[in-house]
Amino acid sequence: MNWSSFRMLVASITLFLASVQAMADQHGILRVGAVSLRPFGEANISDAFLTRLAELGYEQGRNFDFKFIQAPNGGAYEAAYRDLVASGVDILAAGGPEAALKGAVAAANGKIPIVMIASDYDPLALAYVASLAEPGGNVTGVFFRQVALTEKRLEIMREAFLPEGGVTIFWDRNSADQWERAQGAAATLGIPVFGVELRDRPYDYDIAIERAPPEYRGGLMVLASPLFSLPSREHLTEFALRRQLPTIYHVRFFPDVGGLMSYGVSFTKLFRRAADFVDKIAKGANPSTLPVEQPAQYELVVNLRTAAALNFEFPESILLRADEVIE
Amino acid sequence: MRRNPPSAESPRLRRPLFQKYFVALFAAVAAPLLGYGGIEAWFGYRNYRTALDLRLQIEARAAAGRINDFLLGVREQMAWTVQRTWTTGTIDSHRLDALRLLRQTPAIAEVQLIDGEGFERVTVSRLGRDIMDSGIDRTGDPAIQAALSAGFWYGPVTFQDASEPFMQAAVAGNRRSVGVAVASINLKLIGDVITSIRVGESGGAFVADGEGQLIAHTDISFVLRGVDDQTRAWIEALRTLTDASAGAVETYDPARGAVLAASAPIDDVGWRIYAALPLAEAYAPIRATLVRTGAFLLAGAAFAALLALWLARRMTIPVRVVEQGVARIGGGDFDHRIRIATGDEIERLAARINDMAGDLATSKDRADRINRLKRFLSPQVAELIENAGTDEVLRPKHAEVVVVFFDLRGFTSFSAKADGETVFRVVSEYYEVLGEVIGAFEATLTHFSGDGVMAILNAPVPCTSPPRLVAARFACAADSAIQALLAKWRREGAELGFGAGFAAGLATVGRIGYADRYDYTAIGSVANLASRLCHLAGDGQILTDHSTAAGLGAEFEMTALGARNLKGFSNAVSVYTVRRRKEVDFL
C-alpha cells in the first residue's frame, strides 16, 4: 500500500465515522409534528402533552423537536401535516376533530406513525383503526366516546336543570356526529332539542341563539368542536352568562372560565396519555399492535359562581356526582 | 578433555522434575483454592436463589394483598348501597347511594341496584343511560343468586370492545329486603395499583385470571390487546409451571423479556398475581459475586502458578547444578567442585559428589602410575601393586635379587643379512615366546634392546621360592622354549642361537628415569656379572657364577667351566653351566 492510498483509506474511514455519528445524532432526536386550529400555547397539545414528554426525558432541542403548525381552518389540516411530513417528522400527533386525523392520515400515507387524540369523533366507527385491541395500521392513540357522552351530557343536563320548553344545541361541522346522536338521545330521554349549526367563523352566538325558537332558549348544550374555543372560550361563556343560558359543555375548560358545567374526559390526562404513546412508538413499539386506549373516568365539573349568577341551584344528585365544584 | 555443557547433549527428559514439582505444587495450592471457591460460589448461588425466591414470593403476596385490598375496597363501597330497605318512595335515596358509589369508587363504571324482590330499580352509569325502575326481573340472574347466598359474587373478566377488561361484581346486604348491588368494574383501574408495584428496579407485577387472560400489567397495552391465543398459552404454561414449583420460576414477560417470577393467588376472584423480576437484574448481584469469585480464583491460580514456578525452579536448579557438575566430573574434570548452598539434602549430595570427585582424582593418579608400571612389571605384579594401591614397592632399595640376561647368538650377522621384515618377525616371535615365560615366572622385565633382555627376580615382588632356584628354572624354561623356536627358524634358514646368564646378589633396585619415562631396574655388580655371563654363554648355554650355583641343589646339573676373567671384574670368576636334571615342566 502506498502513501496516497493509505491517506485515501484514512479519509474514507473518517468520513464513514462522521456519517455514522451524523446518523446517530439524527436518530437520537425525536421529531413530533402537530397541527391545531388554535395558536401554539392555547392548543391542548401544547400543555399536558409536552409536559409529559418532558417528564419522559424529551428535551426540546436536545433529543426532541416539536414542530407545530396552526391551521387557519379545518380544510387546512392535510396541507399542514404534509408540510410536517416534508420536514421529516418521526411521529404525527392528531388531536381534536376528525379533520385533523384525516389530514394526518393522508399526509402520512401509511408510513409515519400517528398518535391520535380522538376527542370529537369515533375512530373505530370511522374505520381509522381496525379494532381497539389491534389498530392494524399506523394510527393508534387515545379515544373516548364523545358521541356516547353527548347522550350522557343531555341526561345530566336534564337532571341539573330541566328547561320548560327544551334546549338549544350548538353544533358545527366538526360535531355533526354528536348532533345526530343527540337528536336520538333527546327523543329517548324525552327532551325537546333544537339544533343550531354554526358555520361562519368567528361564530356569532348571539345570532345563533336567535335562530332557536324562544321556548328552546331555556338551556344550551355546546357540542365538542375546537371551533367553539375560538377565538377564546370566554366568548362563549360570557355570551351564556349574558343571555342567562344554563349551559353544559364537554370539557372543564369552560366552567373554568365561567361556564356553568361540563361533563367529559380530562383532556390533561388524555394528552398526557397521548405523550406516552409517542414515547412507546419512539422506543420501537409498533402502532399497529399498540391498543387504542380509552379513559376510564369522566369528570363532572360545576361552577357555583355561575350558578349563582344565573339564580340557579344545582340539585343534590348533581353536586354528589360532581368531581369538582368551582366556588 | 572436558565435555560440553550437559544440557546440550542430555537426552530429552520424558517427565522433567521441574514439570512434576510444578504440577504438584500448583495442584497443592490451586486445588483447595478452586475447590473452596467453587463450593463457595455454588452455595452462594443457592443461598442467593433461595433468598430471591423468598423475596419474589413476598413481593407477590404483598402485591396480591394490594389487589385484594382494591377488590375489598370496591366491595365495601358497594356495601353502602345495600343498607336501605326498599319501600315505595325510597328510590331517590337509593339513587343517591348509587351516585355516591360512583363518586367514591372510580373503578365502577356502572351500578345497578336490585330490590329485595329481585327487580332492577336503579341503573347509574358514567357513560350509559341512567335508568330508573326498569322493572327487569333479575331473580334468575346467577350473579344475584350467588350474592344472596354468599354475600358477594365476582363475575368473569370480559373485554369490552375486545380490549378493555371489565368485571361484574355483586354485593348483597345483610338482609334480603335491602337487595343487591351489581357493579361493572373497570379493571384498568387495577393498573394504578399494579403500576405502583415495583419489584427491584425494573421488575413489576401482572395479574392473570383463571381463564388465561392477562387482566393487569404494568404496561396496560398488553392487557388492552384483549384475549389472544399467544397470551393465553403463555399464562397457562406459567400457571402449570408455578403450580409445579415451590419457588420462583423462569419465564418471560412480554414487556420485560426473560424474568424470574413468583406467584400468589387472589382467592376471591380466582386470579393469580405474578411478581416478575428481569433475569438480568435478578442475577446481577450474584453474577457480580461470581465474577469477583472467579477473578479471585483466577488471581489465586495465577499466584499459585507463580509460587509453584518459583518453588519448582528453586528445587530443580540445584539438581541441575548437580547434574552439570556430575557431568563435568564424569567428563574428567576432577577439579570441578559443585557449589551449592541450599542447606538441604542436595547440598549434602553435592558435598558427597565433590568428595567423590577428589577420590576419583586420587585414584586416577594412581591408575595412571599403575598403567606406567605395567610396562615393566609382569601383569601379575602390576595387579599386585594396583591392588596394594601404592607404588611404594618401586622405591629404590638394596635387595637380594637375581638378575637374568638373555640374548640371541648370531643375531647381529642375521640382522645384517636378512631383510627388515624377517628380522622384525623373528624378533616379534622371540619376544612373544620369551614374554610368556617371563610372565609365567613373575619376573620383572627391566629392559630389552634388540635381542637382549634383562629380567630381575625377587624385586620388586619377593619370590615365594628361593630366588636363585626360581631364576634357574626361569632360565631353563626360557631356554627350552626358545630352543623350539630356534629349530623352527633354522628350518626357515635363520641360523641363530640363544644364551642366558644369571647371578644372585645384592643390588640397588628401583625406578629410574625422568618425567613419564620410567624404568625399573637393578644397578650393581650382580647385574654386570649376569650380563657378562650371558655374553659368555654359547647357544643353549645357561651360565652362572659360583656363589649363585652353590644354592641350586640337586635339581640342576652344574658343570664348572673354570675361572674366567670377565670384563669389569678384577678377580676371575668361576663359571658354571646350569642344566635341568630332569625334564620337568615347571610352567
Per-residue model confidence (pLDDT) at position B376? 62
- Chain B neighbors of A134, CB-CB under 8 A: 225
Arithmetic mean of pLDDT, B63-83: 91
Arithmetic mean of pLDDT, B304-328: 84
Per-residue model confidence (pLDDT) at position B3? 43
CA B571 to each of CA B552, B558, B565, B567: distance values in angstroms, whole numbers, following the listed order: 23, 21, 7, 10
Angle of helix A77-86 relative to helix A98-108, nearest 10 degrees, comes to 40
Distance in Å, alpha carbon of B107 to nearest chain A alpha carbon = 8
Angle of helix A176-189 relative to helix A146-160, nearest 10 degrees, comes to 40
CB contact under 8 A, A292 and B221: no
Q: Is B293 within 8 Å of B37 (Cβ atoms)?
A: yes
Per-residue model confidence (pLDDT) at position A11? 63
pLDDT value at A22 more than 60: no
CA distance linking residue B530 with residue B156, whole number of Å: 149
CB contact under 8 A, B99 and A134: no
- Chain B neighbors of A285, CB-CB under 8 A: 221
B125 near A CB under 8 A: yes
Per-residue model confidence (pLDDT) at position B128? 85
pLDDT value at B5 more than 60: no
Per-residue model confidence (pLDDT) at position B587? 47
CB crowding A306-326: b at 16 or more within 10 Å, else e: bbeebeeebeebbbbbbeebb
pLDDT-derived band at B2 (thresholds 50, 70, 90) equals: very low
Interface test with A, best of B129, B167, B184 (most A CBs within 10 A): B129
Burial of B246 from C-beta contacts in 10 A (0-12 / 13-18 / 19+): exposed
Per-residue model confidence (pLDDT) at position B422? 86
Query: Using one digit for the tens of pLDDT, what is the confidence trace for B358-392?
Result: 888 888 877 776 676 666 666 666 776 767 766 67
CB contact under 8 A, B162 and A131: yes
pLDDT value at B521 more than 90: no
CB contact under 8 A, A188 and B129: yes
Query: Using one digit for the tens of pLDDT, what is the confidence trace for B442-481?
Result: 888 887 777 889 999 888 878 888 888 888 989 999 998 9
Of all residues in chain A, the percent with pLDDT exceeding 70 is 92
Interface test with A, best of B100, B130, B227, B229 (most A CBs within 10 A): B130
CB contact under 8 A, B162 and A133: yes
Among candidate residues B242, B271, B210, the one with its CA nearest the CA of residue B63: B271
Q: Is B499 within 8 Å of B541 (Cβ atoms)?
A: yes
A288: helix, coil or strand?
helix
The grid coordinates listed for A208 are 345563533
pLDDT value at A73 more than 50: yes
The grid coordinates listed for B356 are 567423590
B537: helix, coil or strand?
coil
CB contact under 8 A, A148 and B125: no
CA B267 to each of CA B61, B64, B237, B264: distance values in angstroms, whole numbers, following the listed order: 12, 9, 20, 9
Arithmetic mean of pLDDT, B351-363: 86
Question: Which value, in Å, is the radius of gyration of the alpha carbons in chain B?
Answer: 65
- A with B: how many residue pairs have Cβ under 8 Å apart? 69
pLDDT value at B237 more than 60: yes
Per-residue model confidence (pLDDT) at position B73? 92
The grid coordinates listed for B222 are 398488553
Stretch among A40-54, A248-262, B367-381 having the lowest mean pLDDT: B367-381
B91 near A CB under 8 A: no
Closest residue of chain B to A135, computed from CA coordinates: B225
pLDDT value at B133 more than 50: yes
Residues in CB range of B457: below 8 A, 6 or more apart? B401, B402, B404, B441, B443, B444, B463, B467, B470, B471, B474
A187 near B CB under 8 A: no
Q: How many residues does chain B have?
A: 587
A155 near B CB under 8 A: yes
Distance in Å, alpha carbon of B342 to nearest chain A alpha carbon = 59
Arithmetic mean of pLDDT, A205-227: 88
Distance in Å, alpha carbon of B176 to nearest chain A alpha carbon = 26
Identity of the residue in A293, A298, A317 whose CB atom sits nearest the CB atom of B127 = A298
B17 near A CB under 8 A: no
pLDDT value at A232 more than 80: yes
pLDDT-derived band at B312 (thresholds 50, 70, 90) equals: confident
Among candidate residues B439, B434, B444, the one with its CA nearest the CA of residue B500: B434
CB contact under 8 A, B224 and A285: no
CA distance linking residue B507 with residue B9, whole number of Å: 56
CA distance linking residue A145 with residue A119, whole number of Å: 8
Query: Using one digit for the tens of pLDDT, what is the confidence trace for A97-125?
Result: 888 899 999 988 888 999 999 887 888 88
Burial of B12 from C-beta contacts in 10 A (0-12 / 13-18 / 19+): exposed
CB contact under 8 A, A297 and B126: yes
Q: Is B238 within 8 Å of B251 (Cβ atoms)?
A: yes
Question: How high is the ipTM of this complex?
Answer: 0.82
B230 near A CB under 8 A: no
pLDDT value at B289 more than 70: yes
Query: Using one digit for the tens of pLDDT, what is the confidence trace for B178-227?
Result: 889 999 999 988 888 888 888 888 888 999 988 888 888 888 888 888 88
pLDDT value at B7 more than 80: no
**For every residue of A40-85, which 3-state class applies, written as one string?**
CCCCHHHCHHHHHHHHCCCCECCCEEEEEEECCCHHHHHHHHHHHH
Per-residue model confidence (pLDDT) at position A278? 92
Identity of the residue in A292, A296, A321 whose CB atom sits nearest the CB atom of B188 = A296
Interface test with B, best of A294, A314, A316, A323 (most B CBs within 10 A): A294
CB contact under 8 A, B221 and A290: yes
CA distance linking residue B170 with residue B125, whole number of Å: 16
pLDDT-derived band at B357 (thresholds 50, 70, 90) equals: confident
Per-residue model confidence (pLDDT) at position B543? 92
Per-residue model confidence (pLDDT) at position A18? 57
Closest residue of chain B to A295, computed from CA coordinates: B188
CA distance linking residue B390 with residue B386, whole number of Å: 7
B110: helix, coil or strand?
strand
The grid coordinates listed for B415 are 640382522
Per-residue model confidence (pLDDT) at position A21? 53
CB contact under 8 A, A294 and B106: no
CA distance linking residue B211 with residue B158, whole number of Å: 11
Residues of chain B numbered 259-298 and touching chain A (CB < 8 Å): none
CA distance linking residue A233 with residue A260, whole number of Å: 13
pLDDT value at A182 more than 50: yes
Of all residues in chain B, the percent with pLDDT exceeding 90 is 14
A131 near B CB under 8 A: yes
Arithmetic mean of pLDDT over chain B:
85
Sequence letter at residue B10? S
CA distance linking residue B127 with residue A53, whole number of Å: 30
Question: Residue A39: what are its φ and ψ, rounded to 5°?
Answer: -70, 155
A283 near B CB under 8 A: no
CA distance linking residue A47 with residue A49, whole number of Å: 6
Query: Using one digit for the tens of pLDDT, what is the confidence trace for B412-447?
Result: 888 888 888 888 888 888 988 988 888 888 888 887
Residues in CB range of B463: below 8 A, 6 or more apart? B442, B457, B470
Q: Is B512 within 8 Å of B518 (Cβ atoms)?
A: yes
- Chain B neighbors of A280, CB-CB under 8 A: 221
pLDDT-derived band at A140 (thresholds 50, 70, 90) equals: very high
Interface test with A, best of B74, B95, B164 (most A CBs within 10 A): B164
Closest residue of chain A to B106, computed from CA coordinates: A297
A126 near B CB under 8 A: no
End-to-end CA distance of chain A: 85
Strand order in the sheet with B257-266: B214-217, B204-208, B271-278, B257-266, B249-253
Residue ranges in chain A assigned as alpha helix (H): 3-28, 48-55, 77-86, 98-108, 146-160, 176-189, 205-211, 233-242, 253-256, 267-282, 304-309, 316-321
- Chain B neighbors of A296, CB-CB under 8 A: 106-107, 109, 186, 188-189
| Strand-pair partners of A168 | A194, A220
CA distance linking residue A79 with residue A102, whole number of Å: 11
CA A66 to each of CA A47, A49, A94, A283, B171: distance values in angstroms, whole numbers, following the listed order: 12, 11, 13, 17, 50
Q: Is A146 within 8 Å of A119 (Cβ atoms)?
A: yes
Per-residue model confidence (pLDDT) at position B516? 64
CA distance linking residue B241 with residue B46, whole number of Å: 20
Per-residue model confidence (pLDDT) at position B583? 57
Interface test with B, best of A297, A316, A319 (most B CBs within 10 A): A297
